[in-house]
Amino acid sequence: MNSYLNFYFPSIEKGGLEKNVFSLINSLAEKKYNINFFTYEDNTNTKEFGKKFYFHKNINVITARFIPGINSRYIKYFFCFLKLLITLIYKKGIIVSFQGNVLPIIAAKIMCRKIIIRCNTAPSKYVDSSFKKNFFKFFYSFANIILVTTKDFKKEIKKYFNLNSIVHRQSLDIDNIKKKSKIKNKFVFFKNFNGLKIINIGRLTYQKDQITLLKAFAKLIKFRKAKLLLLGSGDDEIHLKYFIQKERLNKFVRIIPYASNPFRYIALSDIKVLSSRFEGSPNILLETACLKKLIISTNCKVGPSETLQSGKGGILFKVGDYNQLFLILKNINLKSNINKNKIKKSYAYVIKNYQKDISKTFIRKIRKLL
């Protein structure tokens, strides 16, 4: 293939979206596709970055590193945009845009290039006015293909923008997840504990809403033995630690930074709780289902309900309703046939719908553009 696939991914965090993007581009590079990866991040060659992600040697990484001392992400966005334009002058290729960024869409129009938009946040989250609705509809209408990760997501794109989209699910290396879950773990917080072991994995942010989980947990320990592990870091960490201290939960709650192998911790737990206000298609639910653990999740508009088959493969509760979550945790019986069946159904769902290598399906869905 002589032309390039130009992936525009401005901001790299330690999340499920990043994990899937890197899985996709590395797999494409292994198949000899020419890949340019544009990001405004200037830390892609650091040891810390390397612990979480890696680039295949055939991927050309283009960053905003040439402007040292400038910390404004908007300026870095702009310079990354300029680099994309310059690259498109000399090299043919398709643009693949992530995170709802309009700059690569503008670049595609200026340079008369085809563009694929990969939507990862539900429109119901960011379209809160007629202006935003018309703004994103205008730019998204230029896309040759819009990719989404779930059927619910597809419905929202149609509802808000009256545009068609194609479902392209994220990758899931089920065998590797199982293998990593069996690696010996020296974590002693759950060791020899015969109460309810609850885990939450994700960035400690407004979106993930761990405060709702903590409020439910503060009520729960008055009625049954339980421990809670929050695996992650983020802007809300200080706020969450203050709540833990105020409610005297220190003996029952631990916060540890995100680990490269979270599956070892899931294996030690009984229940995974997703407390998010909104989601796309959360990796952690799929990964937890692989390990046959019971999942409790908010019924936010896109993602969890489809993954958990409207409650057949897990338990759903209203966003922000810590009282409802408390009652679920208080009355949960892990040995009941109902919950055992939920675990079986969530496991069967991921086995049926997800695969390790999504590069083949990606190329198949965009082949007409190549």
Which tens digits make up the pLDDT trace of 28-44?
988 888 899 888 765 55
| Residue keyed to tokens 């966005």 | 77
Looking at the fold, whether 268 and 196 belong to one and the same domain comes out as: yes
Burial of 211: CB neighbours in 10 Å, binned 0-12, 13-18, 19+: middle
Burial per residue of 326-362, b for 16 or more beta-carbon CB atoms within 10 angstroms, e otherwise? bebbeebeeeeeebeebbebbbebbeeebeeebbeeb
State the Cα–Cα distance between residues 7 and 169, nearest whole angstrom.
17
Write out the two tokens for 146: 């819009």
Q: Number of C-alpha atoms within 13 angstroms, CB side, residue 52?
A: 20
Looking at the fold, whether 182 and 249 belong to one and the same domain comes out as: yes
CB atoms within 10 A of CB 23: 19
Per-residue pLDDT tens, the chain, 370 aa: give them.
556 899 988 766 656 677 778 888 888 988 888 899 888 765 555 455 555 567 888 888 887 665 555 666 677 778 888 888 888 888 888 999 986 788 899 999 999 999 999 987 778 777 888 898 999 999 999 999 999 888 888 999 999 999 999 988 888 888 889 999 998 888 889 988 999 999 999 999 999 999 999 999 999 999 999 999 999 999 999 999 999 999 999 999 999 998 878 999 999 999 999 999 988 778 889 999 999 999 999 998 788 888 898 889 999 999 999 999 999 999 999 999 999 999 999 999 988 888 777 788 888 888 777 6
Say which amino acid occupies 16: G
Distance of CA 329 to the CA centre of its chain: 25
Looking at the fold, whether 314 and 237 belong to one and the same domain comes out as: yes
CATH number for position 344: 3.40.50.2000
Write out the two tokens for 228: 């809670």
State the Cα–Cα distance between residues 368 and 370, nearest whole angstrom.
6
Looking at the fold, whether 230 and 122 belong to one and the same domain comes out as: no
Write down the pLDDT at residue 51: 54
Looking at the fold, whether 23 and 157 belong to one and the same domain comes out as: yes
Q: What's the pTM value of the predicted model, to 2 decimals? A: 0.81
- Reduce the DSSP state of residue 303 to 3 states and report it: coil
Looking at the fold, whether 209 and 294 belong to one and the same domain comes out as: yes
Looking at the fold, whether 333 and 219 belong to one and the same domain comes out as: yes
Looking at the fold, whether 93 and 226 belong to one and the same domain comes out as: no
State the Cα–Cα distance between residues 234 and 258, nearest whole angstrom.
10
Looking at the fold, whether 198 and 157 belong to one and the same domain comes out as: no
Write out the two tokens for 3: 């032309």
Domain that holds residue 51: 4-171+356-369
Looking at the fold, whether 219 and 147 belong to one and the same domain comes out as: no
Looking at the fold, whether 94 and 227 belong to one and the same domain comes out as: no
Dihedral sign (CA 18, 22, 23, 28): positive
Structural domain count, the chain: 2
Q: Who's near 277: CB < 8 A, 6+ residues apart? A: 206, 207, 208, 209, 298, 300, 319, 320
- H/E stretch holding 86 reads helix 73-90
State the Cα–Cα distance between residues 111 and 126, nearest whole angstrom.
28
Q: 313 near 349, Cβ under 8 Å?
A: yes
Looking at the fold, whether 164 and 211 belong to one and the same domain comes out as: no
**Which residues, listed in sequence order, are joined to residue 297 by a DSSP beta bridge?**
274, 316
